[in-house]
Amino acid sequence: MKLEGHKGEVLGLAYHPVAASAHLLASSSFDGTVMVWDTSSPDIPVVGLLTGHRLAVTDVVFAGRDGGLAATASADGTAALWDVVTGERLKVLRGHRSHVNAVAVPPPTGSMVSGGVSDAAASPADASGGLGEYIVATASNDKTVRVWDGRDRRRGAELVLPNRAQVLAVAWGEADHLLYSSGVDGDVLGFDLRSASCAWAAATGAGGLAAADAPAAAADEAAGCIRRLRGHTEPVTGLALNTARTHLVSNAMDHSVRVWDVRPFVAGGEAARQAAVLIGHRHGFDKSLLRAAWGGRDEVVAAGAADGTLWVWEVADRAVRYRLPGHAGPVNAVAFHATQPVVASGGADKVIFLGELLL
């Protein structure tokens, strides 16, 4: 099935994570819009249109306890929270100093409890590790990841995590207080938001709540960094955690997709965390941010390629299951349906393809 409607490259895709609404597919585009498609209808109509960003919308995810919100990242240097039903932009998240490349929210299976952060709290993670319903993380070319409490209209970022280079991807980790980021330097960093918030509070003198960077915090890149996954030799353009919250996948410009075991303890120690290297697809000279996604009950991983194909690998034996053609340009985005063996791909050719797989 071919979906057309965007006037620019499709940069991000997200299926609704809740089973009752899993037929909803959100797509973000270079044209500055997000479209929400109803894939359960024969003609797959656009049932929602989110407009307001001034430049390309680089990423989109469903957010909130029931997935009734959408979070977006944009090249205009902002992120935003939206009401999916009404299309209203609820909040603009300002603070990044350059393009925002990616956005992430805690998985719906986590401790996403409303009220997990009080107005006086010094951390986006409470003592039990539970997170607020509207917690959002964003990655930017300004070399930071920012963690926001989207419920509070007055404050800027709750927490700023400095990186050594431009940050291209972000993903929530195996626990609600863990976050992963990666970018131009090729390393995948794991942050514990509880310890990072303590360092941020000490540096800012603001109890961890501040709208701007603090030089002392920026100087301590290791604050809160509990894990560094090394193996890629070129920029990492996509990160995704599986639904079991045990493994992380990374897609990089070194033409490899790597699977990392992020469970607390791994036989063999930190050196054994790289569980698989999947090869075959190729990035292009245009340096597009090609993403990756899990599917098939966490048994397969998919990633797009610069030649217009979508690659699907079996993680267990590292074998290529599918190499799907169709796009007339790089395949930037990929997403799997939450309950059906359906994969969506979005490309530089401005179109989205839906395909059913035998998984």
Q: Find the angle CA(147)-CA(80)-CA(27) to the nearest 5 degrees.
A: 110
In terms of Cβ atoms closer than 10 Å to its own Cβ (0-12, 13-18, 19+), residue 40 is exposed
Quote the CA–CA distance of 358 and 249 in Å, as a whole number.
21
Please give the pLDDT value at position 310: 98
The model's pLDDT over 318-336, given as tens digits with 9 standing for 90+, comes to: 999 999 999 999 999 999 9
Residue 72: band (very low, low, confident or very high) from pLDDT cuts 50, 70, 90: very high
SS3 content of the chain, % helix, strand, coil (to 5): 5, 45, 50
The pLDDT tens digits of the residues spanning 202-234 come to 554 443 333 344 443 343 444 688 889 999 999
In this structure, are residues 34 and 50 in contact, taking their beta carbons and an 8 Å threshold? yes
DSSP string for residues in 33-67: EEEEEETTSTT--EEEEEE--SS-EEEEEEESTTS
pLDDT for res 28: 98
pLDDT 10s digits, 116-169:
222 333 333 333 233 445 689 999 999 999 999 877 666 666 789 989 999 999
The pair of three-digit structure tokens given for residue 181, joined into one six-digit string: 């980021």
pLDDT > 70: percent of the chain: 83
Per the CB < 8 A criterion, the answer to whether 146 and 161 are in contact is yes
Q: What is the DSSP letter of 221?
A: T
DSSP state for residue 287 in the 8-state scheme = -
Nearest by Cα to 293 from 255, 264, 320, 259: 259
Statement: residue 289 has pLDDT above 80:
yes
Q: Which residue has the higher pLDDT, 239 or 67?
A: 239
